[in-house]
Structure 1
Amino acid sequence: MFERLGSFVVRRAWWVIGGWLLAAVAIIFATPSLSDITSADQESFLPHSYESVQATELGKKAFPQQVTATAAIVVKRADGKPLTPADEARVGEFARTLQGRNIAHTSGYLTGPQAVAPDKSVQLVNVGLAAPTPDDPALLDAVREVRAAVGPALDGSGLTAGVGGDVATFVDNENTFNDAFAVVGIATFVLIIGLILIIFRSPIAALLPIVVISVVLSVTTGLVAAAGKAFDLNVSQDLQTILLIVLFGIGTDYILFLLFRYRERLRAGDDKRTAMVVSVRRVGEVITSAAAAVIVAFLVLLLASLGFFGSLGPALAIGVGVMLITSLTLIPALVSLLGRFVFWPSKAWQRTPKATLARRLGGAIGRRPALVALGSGALLVALAAGVLGYKADYDFSAGFPQDTESAKAAADLQRGFAAGALAPTEVYLTTGNGTPLTDQQVNDFSAAAAGAPGVGRVQPAERGSDPSVARINLLLNENPVSNEAITLVRGDLRDALHAAAPAGTSALVGGTTAIFADINSANNRDLSVILPVAAGLIALILALLLRSLVAPIYLVVAVLLNFAATLGATVYLFQGLQDKPGVTFQLPIILYLFVVAIGTDYNILMIARLREEAREGNEPHEAAAIGVEHAGPTVAAAGVILAGTFAVLMLAPISFLQQMGFAVAIGIVLSAFVMSMFFVPALTALIGHAAWWPGHGDRRRNGGRHAEPEPEAVAQA
């Protein structure tokens, strides 16, 4: 099949290129923008069955004027002394002054005796922020306007103030995010161009992936946006960045797979057209199997209960599908036209390297596979042991620079109030049948809530338009996004509040901590489903590729071990050496996307080459040596490019970006170099012919080594 496809693409190269470009232009200009289906609301991705979502929905009905978010203006004396009664009166006047400015999308400006810290160190002014969606840019502008008004309103009062809260934090770190992701994009281009220049010594080979994948990225975003509109799906703001890295990662991999094999066939004496047909025949199945494994891994995310994962999976699968089609059609067509010119001006491609590092490594693996398998396997197991100490961290604010206005305001607030003051736990007491709540019921519940585990303070109950509902905000003693607070809300606190609801009423617990508690539960559930299902489907794809039941088993075990080793290495660094409270809760799914899914590419390339060498008549040890010699440079080059792209994130001054950069970089390094270069070839050599049971995929074919199609027949086909 792949030989026929390669022959068609080579014979009709200009038609393939023209048709592809016409389709790309039509898709790019006829489809909606990705921003039309983008959402930043984490809660919107949780299913309705979770209590925090039910609490939020009840709150929206009972408090229709409920704000989208809040900003906290933290006021204190410039000299650091406790606030006086005159200062408190001045803060009240300050709040009225700000409210009188009628700043768009703001309301409330609530303060008073209840907003003064017990130690009189600070006084809080709560500002409501309202917009159609939580990620509306108007909220950012509102915070900027509030900040601009604070200074003049306090001028000459001896008081100072800072604006904090989630939106204010985003404002302070918006440039940091933008700069970090810009660096990733630039670093991706520089690494791809630089490393391919080193490998092939050709600017044409170096620019080819950049140009082609950039077009593929535009086509993919158009198709994803169209699919989102058609099926009413939202995607996360992270998708654009993740899509960029995925496409440039796998796209460069697939192009390198073809170019390395194309160069090998040119060295063997094939003409440019025959060399490409043979390359597509030999590598096309590998690329298709690798892409199928990645697509399956991404589509398994549809099983996730978190909508964020469910929407991410199909979007990434579309991108990989487009890249697969491109790799088997557009790239072969372009390269077959360029021929040897793709490696211009270098002439090094004409010479077969001698005594290369890959050859020496292959020889060592072939001679001592047991030692290599034991050493590389022991390294992965030792790193995987770190998973036993894994803790999820939900505190994004602690990972941001601490010298910003929002960070300083949060620190001042938490010194004066309970730790949970910036993100109260919202408890909705309701009769559930429309019957009005009595004051006695609300007061009894508030009193009981004050004694619930972890509660530092109970704020006065609020009544909205629905008389059957009351909202009571609780300030926790713990940091509201810490593991301790999340565990508390998910267990003891919820249980206590449910039990404290008076007869005829029920309590729903919501707010930021409750949302993260439910995300934690959903995340744990999703990983327990996604990993086994993905492993099974990837094993099935490998079985179909290799016509074997044995090799897929140890290949999947190797991939899962590599996943655990990557997470363990991250735990050792951040929780161990750097003494962080945990690693970002998103990390396991990020590692799934980039280490399990994409890292499988390297396994497939290596195992396919090992089978190919076995089919040429080489015994298992010799096949391992030759396979590593020929496939090793491709795996190394692809791994270095992708790992280097993520490693740049470690330069960002944001903790979770540093963690993501390190984790994915080390995961790709382990996938490419430890697992694919050492562990899998050594294990395959040890298992020998039994690795291909029952299909005997290593059976010698077509008369032995280098039995390729006749060049003349291919060229004239």
Structure 2
Amino acid sequence: MFRRIGTAVVRHPVWTIVAWLIAAVAIAATAPGLPSNSDESSFLPKSYESIRAANIQDKAFPSSFTPSATALYQRSDGGKLTAADTKDVARITVELGRKKIDQVQRVVPGPPSEDGRYTMTLVQMDDKSAGQPEQADAAAVLRTEVKKLTEGTELDVKLGGPAAEALDQQDSSERGEALIGIGTFAIILVTLLIIFRAPILAILPLILIGLVSAVANGVIAYATRLFDLQANSSISSILVVVLFGVGTDYFLFLMFRYREHLRAGDEPKQAMINAVSRVGEAIACAAGAVIIAFLALVLSTLGFLRQMGPALAIAVTATLLAGLTLVPAVVSLIGPKIFWPSKSWKQEPQGARFAALGRGMQRRPALAAGLSGLVLVALSVGLFGYNATFDLSSGSMPKSKESMVVQTDMKAAYSAGAAAPTDVYLTSDDEKPLDKSSFAAYAQKLGAVDGVASARLSTVNKSSTTADFTVTLKYEASSDRAIDTVAEVREVAHSNAPEGTVAAVGGLSSIFKDIDTAVAHDYRTVFPVAALLIMIILGLLLRSVVAPWYLMASVGLGFGATLGATVWLFQTVQGHSGLMFMLPVIMYLFVVAIGTDYNILMIARLREEARAGRSPREAAGMALWHAGPTVAAAGFILAATFATMMLAGNALLTEMGFAVSFGIAIAAFVMAMFFTPSLTALIGHAAWWPGHGDRAAESVTGSADMAAASAGRGAVPGQAQGPAPEQGPHKDQFADDLSRTRR
């Protein structure tokens, strides 16, 4: 199949390129805009208690609200607010409400702080568009107007709250995305120039992947509109990295193999056909593993991950199609001139490092497996110290942003939980009025929970069927202590609810508690499903039941090593209280799925060498020699590309950038180069049980192929055309070394 694809695009390169250009222009011109959502409650399905509580609030107390924005006032000199200051705040609050700003429904005064140095204005916005871009736009207008209204007073005002955080996060994301884009381009360009010393080849993938990016983003926008998905602000940054990182990987897989066939003496167009034929299956299987792993995210209970999965799967699918059609078509038109002005493509460098590594692998596979395995196990120890944090807003932008300053000031001025109190809704289960005589005792029991600063009856609805108890925690809403405390509040609220009533606990801490539960569910669901599907792909590729097990075991070790190293760096060294809660899920999928690319490429080459008649150890050595440079180059570029996310300036992308880049490096330079091939060499023919994937060529290929293989020329099995490579003596020497060791 892949030979037919290669033949078709090489014979009709112009039509292939034109088809891609038409598709890119048509899709980019007609695709709808990509929506965004940063509302934490949208992460969860309606079955969770925090969401049920929010629905009770909407039904029983339609006039009550959780502020979408908070204007925090203090005197410019830092002193206590005077009567004149209080009067100014009241005036500003009234005038702000009269502005009739889009999305703003109510503007009301908030409580002063106990020390008399701060007071607030609370702003209600349309909860139907919570987290949407229009509320960030409204926050921008609010921020401008409230600052204008304070001119001429002794007051200093800052705007915080969810809408303001969304605005600041948007600004931070735009800056971060620009830095990520520039860094990604620079890394790919410079690395390819160093590897190939060919400017055309270095620039080409950037141009082609840019074209693919237009197609992928348009299709994602269509899918988002069609299936009513939402897009988180971090997805666009991740998409840039995935498209250019994975796209460059597949470009390198193809170009290294194309160069190898040119060195073997193939005519240029035939060299591209043979390259697609040989490496196409590995690229397709590698992309299939990534796509399936991303699609497994639809099983997540978290909206953010469920929305991200299809978008990333579409991006990788577009990249795969380009790798098998667009790239071969363009390169076949350019021909060997793509390597200009370098002439190193004509012959293998003498004393190649990967040839030496291959000889070492062949001679001591147990040592290679032991040392690489020890590195993975040692790093994995750190994962036992992992702790999750749920502060999404501060995790996604610098502390210097205005909304973050408001959050910090409110923690100091009010009870840490005052900015986002917990609400306990007591509802009659038979629609009869509640017995108000039990309210005082109920509030007292809620207030007695360790970690609760105060608990009081806030209001009762008109029909007296629902009562709202406001519980103020001692801790900031997203902290571990607040989440633990709200779990205890739930237990007390449920167990002490008066007869005939049902309690539901809502608020931001309650949402985070449910997110924590949802993440635990995803660990038990998404991880195993993704692993199983990837194993099936590996089994189909390798026609083996044994190989997928130890390949996935090695990937699991790589995941553990990556999470352990991330814990040590951010929690132990930098003193972070924890890592962002969704990091292990994202890291697992990127490291397991994309990291499996390199295992697939290496093991596919190892099988190819084994089919040429080599022993398991010889095949491992030859695979490392031939596939090692590709894995090293691709792994370095992809790891460095993900590392550009650390330039974004926020904790979430910094942690994600380090974890994924480190995981990719582990996957490429430890697992694929040493651990996997050495294990395969040690297991021998049993690795391909119950089939004979490493010996299939004996019954399929002709005698010419076997003669070439036995001569040690490193010929590609099944390829009858083309003379021996110019560097044949060097390959003969390597094969002789392997043979002597085997004897």
Show the counterpart of 2:669.
673
1:197-219 deviations in Å (ceiling 9; x for gaps): 22222222122221222222222
CA contact (8 A) 1:258 1:283 kept: yes
- The answer to whether 1:413 aligns with 2:410 is yes
Q: TM-score, normalised by structure 1?
A: 0.92
In the alignment, is residue 64 of structure 1 matched against residue 62 of structure 2?
yes
1:177, CA displacement in angstroms? 2.1
The separation in 1 between residues aligned to 2:226 and 2:651, in whole angstroms, is 37
Q: Distance in 2 between matches of 1:141 and 1:323?
A: 34
User: Shift in Å at residue 347 of structure 1?
Assistant: 1.5
Q: 1:281 to 1:402 in 2, by over 3 A?
A: closer
Matched, 1:647 2:643: yes
1:341 counterpart residue number: 337
- Aligned equivalents of 2:447 and 2:312: distance in 1? 47
Map 1:147-158 → 2, pairs under 5 A:
147-151=143-147, 153-154=149-150, 158=154
- Aligned amino acid, residue 414 of structure 1: K
Counterpart in 1 of 2:476? 479
C-alpha displacement of 1:448: 3.4
Q: Is the 8 A contact 1:599 1:672 kept in 2?
A: yes
1:213 aligns with 2:223: no
Q: Who is 1:621 aligned against? A: 617
Aligned mate of 1:709, from 719, 731, 738: 719
Residues of 1 paired with 2:416 and 2:40: CA distance? 23
**1:388 matched residue in structure 2:** 384
**Structure 1 residues 551 and 501: alpha-carbon distance in aligned structure 2, compared to 1, 3 A threshold:** same
| 2:173 matches 1:177 | yes
Distance 1:674 1:631 in 2: 14
Q: Deviations for 1:213-260, whole angstroms, at most 9, x for unmatched residues?
A: 222222222223333333333343333322222222221111111110
Displacement of 1:366: 1.9
Q: Aligned with 1:422: secondary structure?
A: coil
Q: CA deviation at 1:573?
A: 0.6
Residue 224 of structure 2 contacts residue 230 of structure 2 at CA under 8 Å; is this kept in 1?
Answer: yes
Match of 1:664 among 628, 648, 660: 660
1:307 corresponds to 2:317 = no
Distance in 2, Cα, partners of 1:484 & 1:586: 19
* Structure 1 residue 15 corresponds to structure 2 residue 15: yes
Aligned to 1:323: 319
Q: Distance in 1 between matches of 2:401 and 2:24?
A: 44
Counterpart CA distance in 1 for 2:493 and 2:7 is 70
1:6 aligned to 2:6? Answer: yes
Report the residue type matching 1:372 in the other structure. A
Q: How many residues are aligned here?
A: 708
Q: 1:340 to 1:708 in 2, by over 3 A?
A: farther
Residue aligning to 1:47: 45
Alpha-carbon separation, structure 2, partners of 1:157 and 1:277: 75
1:189 deviation in Å?
1.5
Query: How far apart, CA to CA, are the structure 2 residues paired with 1:438 and 1:327?
Result: 69
Aligned to 1:715: none
Deviates more, 1:378-387 or 1:687-696: 687-696
User: In structure 2, what is the Cα distance between the partners aligned to 1:686 and 1:146?
Assistant: 67
Deviation at 1:525, TM superposition (A): 0.7
What amino acid is the match of 1:43?
S
Fraction of identical pairs, as percent: 47
Separation in 2, partners of 1:301, 1:417: 39
Q: Deviations over 1:619-659 (max 9, x none)?
A: 22222222111111111111111111222232333222221
Instruction: Report the residue type matching 1:402 in the other structure.
Output: K
Deviates more, 1:227-236 or 1:193-202: 227-236
Offset at residue 710 of structure 1 (A): 4.0
Q: Would the aligned equivalents of 2:112 and 2:119 in 1 still touch at CA under 8 Å? A: yes
The alpha-carbon deviation at position 68 of structure 1 amounts to: 7.0
How far did residue 190 of structure 1 move?
A: 1.6
Supply the AA of the counterpart residue of 2:719: P
Partner of 1:401: 398
Matched, 1:233 2:243: no
Query: Judging changes above 3 Å, is the alpha-carbon distance between structure 1 residues 361 and 352 closer, same or farther for their aligned structure 2 residues?
Result: same
Name which of structure 1's ranges 467-476 and 384-393 shifts more when overlaid on structure 2: 467-476
Letter in 2 for 1:585: F
Assess, with a 3 A threshold, how the Cα gap between structure 1 residues 377 and 344 changes in structure 2: closer, same or farther: same
Q: Is the 8 A contact 2:17 2:329 kept in 1?
A: yes
SS at match of 1:430: strand
Output the amino acid matched with 1:569.
A
Instruction: Find the counterpart in structure 1 of residue 104 from structure 2.
Output: 106
3-state SS of 1:329 partner: helix
Hey, what's the Cα distance between the residues in 1 that align with 2:295 and 2:150?
55
Tell me how far 1:104 sits from its aligned partner: 4.3
CA spacing shift, 1:468–1:674, aligned 2, 3 Å: same
**How many angstroms does 1:262 deviate by?**
0.5
Give the superposition deviation at 1:178.
1.2
Q: Distance in 2 between matches of 1:324 and 1:146?
A: 46
TM-score, length-normalised on structure 2? 0.89
Q: Give 5+ residue unaligned stretches, structure 1.
A: 713-717
Sort the Cα spacing of 1:44 and 1:410 in 2 relative to 1 into closer, same or farther, 3 A.
closer
